[in-house]
Amino acid sequence: MDEPTPSSNLVLAAARSISAALRVPYALCGGAACVVLGSQRETKAIALVVPRGSTKAARTEFRAHPAFKVEPRTNYTTFIGEPLNAQGTAEHTELKGIPLTILSPPGLFSYNYTGAERDYVLVDGIRVLHPRFLILTKVVGIADRPMKKIISDANDVAFLMEKLWNMGEMVSLGELGFTSDILDKFVEIVPNVRGVLERMGYIP
């Protein structure tokens, strides 16, 4: 049986706890990043990226925080709920735990994330990989993904392109990793991608 999907409130709770736990310059990526940015999409896990060589330090900081559990042998990491609130009850504990993946360049992440200010945006104190780089990570290697993942990524790209537009940022499609073949594939699979790109002036 499939695991239940965490609510957006639970994902946001996990994101807040990540922000509280880490001193390593992290940024949320993947579906959780889109949720924090306001997307209504669902995600069953949370991914974050840290600079090269920082994975061990991030995991040590998660071990020290009560909202996270790190398995001693496998390093499998989960968000298990926010600490007790003022009333003495735990918040957002409807699931056993949300899996947490720590990524770092170059082997596990396509963009060379360094933690510099240009790499991320802040949303209520939560670091999220900048939309332009979120798009890049979803576009690069798209042809090797299963159709279900391509559809999910294409919808995320449409949402993130709108975010860029609202931020007043115009970036060339090439800088976002698009080729003509990838663009055609996205537009074919998720028609609303075309509408977004037309509004932004990328395609006639």
pLDDT at 148: 85
> With bands split at pLDDT 50, 70 and 90, how would you rate the model's confidence at 92?
very low
5-47 pLDDT, tens digit each: 678 888 999 999 999 999 999 999 999 999 999 999 989 899 9
pLDDT at 202: 79
Enter the pTM of the model. 0.88
Phi, psi of 124 (to 5 degrees): 50, 40
> With bands split at pLDDT 50, 70 and 90, how would you rate the model's confidence at 159?
very high
